[in-house]
């Protein structure tokens, strides 16, 4: 039974992350659509709000809930994991993931009301939050106690720096070619 529960947990983690990777992209498009002339702005905004709503309530939220239910079930089957330090760190990253998810929900609700409070550049940086958390959680889950914390922290920092450099490069390319 353990393997089935683990498989379901992983499936819902994957779909949860898929939603968390895509929702900020929809936020970026909606923020950029607010600069378009009418009626294009209203048409695009309505479509993006509908897409966001479907993604958020049909895929992302249910996946988060089901991933959590199956994770708790796994912990009930394997209570010894709660005694291991790697699991404490992993749970810490999962708490951070929920904070990221809830902040996305907050931004989602603002954009559903046509309240633009962030720039598309900020959202491009924000979009990488799920990537950093995913790397940390996967390495913790796979390497467990073999994980060297110093290399892990340095690795996450290097990944963060590379992602930020990529965003800056994209912004530079986009500013030199507005069609990109």
pLDDT digits (tens, 9 = 90+) for 45-68: 999 999 999 999 999 999 999 999
Tally of structural domains, the chain? 1
Q: Kind and range of the H or E element at 78? A: none
Query: How does pLDDT run across 78-102, given as a tens digit for each residue?
Result: 999 999 888 888 898 999 999 999 9
- Which residues are annotated as part of the binding site? 9, 90
pTM here is 0.85
Give the whole-number percent of the chain exceeding pLDDT 90.
65
d(CA 19, CA 13): 10
Of residues 127, 93, 130, the one with CA closest to residue 17: 130
What is the span of the domain harbouring residue 39? 2-176
Confidence at 70, pLDDT banded by 50, 70, 90: very high
Residue 146: the pLDDT is 56
Q: Could you tell me if 6 and 123 are in contact, meaning their C-beta atoms sit under 8 angstroms apart?
A: no
Between these two residues, 178 and 107, which has the higher pLDDT value?
A: 107
pLDDT at 174 over 90: no
- Which residues are annotated as part of the binding site for heme? 9, 90
């Amino acid at each position: 039974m353990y393997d089935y529960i683990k498989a379901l947990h992983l499936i819902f983690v994957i779909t949860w992350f898929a939603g968390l990777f895509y929702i900020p992209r929809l936020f970026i498009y909606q923020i950029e659509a607010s600069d378009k002339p009418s009626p294009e702005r209203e048409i695009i905004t309505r479509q993006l709000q509908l897409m966001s709503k479907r993604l958020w309530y049909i895929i992302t939220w249910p996946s988060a809930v089901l991933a959590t239910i199956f994770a708790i079930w796994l912990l009930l089957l394997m209570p010894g994991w709660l005694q291991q330090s790697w699991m404490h760190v992993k749970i810490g990253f999962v708490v951070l993931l929920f904070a990221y998810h809830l902040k996305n929900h907050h931004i989602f609700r603002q954009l559903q009301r046509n309240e633009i409070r962030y720039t598309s550049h900020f959202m491009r940086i924000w979009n990488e939050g799920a990537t950093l958390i995913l790397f940390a959680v996967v390495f913790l889950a796979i390497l467990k106690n073999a994980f060297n914390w110093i290399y892990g922290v340095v690795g996450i920092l290097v990944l963060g720096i590379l992602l930020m450099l990529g965003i800056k490069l994209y912004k530079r390319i986009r500013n030199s070619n507005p069609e990109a």
